[in-house]
Amino acid sequence: MFYIYCPYCGEHREEEEFHPKGQAHLSRPTDPDACSDEEWGDYLYFRDNPRGLHHEIWVHAIGCRKFFNATRDTQSYEILETYRMGDAPRVTHFTDTQKS
């Protein structure tokens, strides 16, 4: 069970309080009607499935109800950072010591 730092509450809380919401930093196309079926299909269904760093959205569902982002190693499950919606991740690649 994960131990997740909510960047809004400023505390580590148990995973039971959170829901995962998938890949982060996806933007809804500004003009959906101008998208081809393929572009819209990519937005709807296609997600990264990396072995390693993954930026993903979580919501503090049984808490402050805020959505935020986490950078997680999908291999070790280590959460390297959490950050507020709209912020950019600081961890974008492994340092040597983090490599699992």
Could you tell me the smallest distance in angstroms from the CB atom of residue 43 to other proteins? 8
Cross-strand bridge partners of residue 14 = 3
Give the residue among 87, 66, 69 at the shortest CA–CA distance from 79.
69
58 close to 20: Cβ distance less than 8 angstroms: yes
80 close to 4: Cβ distance less than 8 angstroms: no
User: Is 5 one of the binding residues for other proteins (CB under 8 A)?
Assistant: no
Q: Which stretch binds other proteins (CB under 8 A): 48-56, 63-71, 87-95?
A: 63-71
Question: Which residues sit at the interface with other proteins, rule CB under 8 A?
Answer: 1-3, 14, 19, 21, 27-28, 31-33, 35, 37, 40-41, 43-44, 57, 59, 61, 65-67, 73, 76-79, 85-86, 100
